[in-house]
């Protein structure tokens, strides 16, 4: 409702409340525990609670309970109404004035669509995603992966899974996301975070407004137990990403406008983790 817009803008006018909002936007469609938000933003629990209460009261976030934990997520319908109302007024009903390339299909080109998968270490989940999309639809996508704080070496469990599945390991190396910024960087049409920690961090403003999505899942590198139990965690991560990559590769990109495409990407992020592949 238009009457809600001033109050919502007032809430977002506070720098730290805005930081909470932006983190939840990056994590959409996840429901994020309050403790994880506090740790990511280095806020005291009482301070974060006040910020979340204000955002919830303004109708910008939802609050759910799971056992003893409070989970928070973006109330996307309210956010869409907020920005839709602003663009309708400020942009005179022409969103392209304020958000170039925000509507219509992805531009048709004679090149492959550029895709970047991001996680923190660029040693397991992101190289799974990179290898899977290259194997499933490498004729249509130029695929990359990178880390916000990349490891010097790729994880040996991850490499074994990929080798056992028949993937070519030669294109794989740990890279920093800095390689994908600046005038010499590859053109990107899609950017996906595949770990929660990477999504919690501020990433660059990507050139060309690529479609973005968050497909977070547990980090197999942190799995404990026997060698067999740790190996199973990597198999499960590979299987979950395989289901998502297959769904993404099946999207009719040429016929979807950007709004429909973003919705489809978010739906893929809600897919269950699945079984080992």
Does one domain contain both 253 and 137? yes
Q: How confident is the model at residue 86 (pLDDT cuts 50, 70, 90)?
A: confident
Does one domain contain both 158 and 265? yes
pLDDT of residue 172: 95
Cβ distance 200 to 23 under 8 Å?
yes
The CATH number linked to 22 is: 1.10.10.10
Does one domain contain both 166 and 133? yes
Does one domain contain both 184 and 77? no
The CATH number linked to 213 is: 3.40.50.2300
Three-class secondary structure of residue 143 per DSSP = strand
Strand partners, 115: 143, 190
For the CA atoms of 79, 81, 83, 87, the dihedral, rounded to the nearest 10 degrees, stands at 170
Q: What is the pTM of this model?
A: 0.79
Does one domain contain both 69 and 135? no
Could you tell me the residue range of the domain that residue 199 belongs to? Answer: 113-269
Number of domains in the chain: 2
pLDDT of residue 133: 98
Residue-wise pLDDT tens digits, 26-57: 999 899 999 999 999 999 999 999 999 999 99
Does one domain contain both 140 and 69? no
Question: Domain for residue 274, yes or no?
Answer: no
Question: Domain for residue 226, yes or no?
Answer: yes
Q: Which residues contact 166 (CB under 8 A, 6 or more apart)?
A: none
Question: Domain for residue 6, yes or no?
Answer: yes
Three-class secondary structure of residue 142 per DSSP = strand
In the predicted structure, residue 100 carries a pLDDT above the cut 60: no
Quick one: average pLDDT of 171-183? 91
Among 64, 94, 124, the domain-final residue is: 94
Question: Domain for residue 211, yes or no?
Answer: yes
Among 61, 94, 127, the domain-final residue is: 94
pLDDT of residue 113: 93
Report CA-CA distances (Å) from 211 to 29, 169, 183, 192, 230: 15, 27, 19, 8, 33
Question: Domain for residue 198, yes or no?
Answer: yes
Does one domain contain both 61 and 149? no
Does one domain contain both 52 and 133? no
**Comparing C-alpha atoms, which of 213, 208, 221 is closest to residue 193?**
213
Find out whether the peptide bond into 213 is cis, omega within 30 degrees of 0: no
pLDDT of residue 257: 85
Does one domain contain both 70 and 118? no
pLDDT of residue 225: 87
Does one domain contain both 124 and 85? no
Find out whether the peptide bond into 205 is cis, omega within 30 degrees of 0: no
Does one domain contain both 148 and 263? yes
Does one domain contain both 68 and 40? yes
């Amino acid at each position: 409702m238009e009457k809600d817009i001033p109050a919502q803008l007032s809430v977002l006018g506070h720098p730290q409340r805005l930081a909470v909002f932006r983190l939840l936007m990056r994590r959409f469609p996840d429901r994020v525990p309050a403790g994880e938000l506090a740790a990511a933003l280095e806020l005291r629990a009482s301070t974060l609670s006040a910020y979340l209460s204000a955002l919830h009261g303004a109708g910008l976030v939802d609050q759910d309970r799971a056992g003893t934990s409070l989970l928070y997520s973006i109330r996307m319908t309210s956010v869409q109404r907020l920005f839709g109302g602003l663009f309708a007024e400020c942009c005179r009903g022409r969103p392209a004035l304020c958000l170039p390339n925000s509507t219509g299909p992805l531009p048709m080109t004679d090149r492959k669509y550029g895709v970047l998968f991001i996680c923190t270490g660029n040693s397991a989940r992101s190289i799974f995603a990179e290898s899977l999309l290259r194997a499933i639809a490498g004729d249509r996508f130029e695929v990359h992966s990178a880390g916000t704080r990349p490891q010097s070496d790729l994880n040996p469990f991850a490499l074994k899974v990929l080798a056992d599945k028949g993937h070519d390991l030669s294109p794989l190396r740990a890279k920093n996301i800095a390689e994908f910024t600046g005038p010499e960087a590859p053109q990107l049409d899609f950017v996906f975070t595949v770990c929660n920690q990477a999504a919690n961090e501020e990433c660059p403003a990507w050139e060309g407004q690529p479609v973005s999505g968050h497909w977070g899942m547990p980090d197999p590198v942190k799995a404990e137990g026997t060698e067999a139990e740790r190996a199973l965690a990597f198999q499960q991560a590979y299987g979950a990403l395989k289901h998502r990559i297959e769904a993404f590769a099946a999207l009719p990109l040429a016929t979807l406008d950007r709004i429909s495409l973003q919705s489809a990407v978010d739906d893929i992020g809600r897919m269950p983790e699945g079984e080992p592949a």
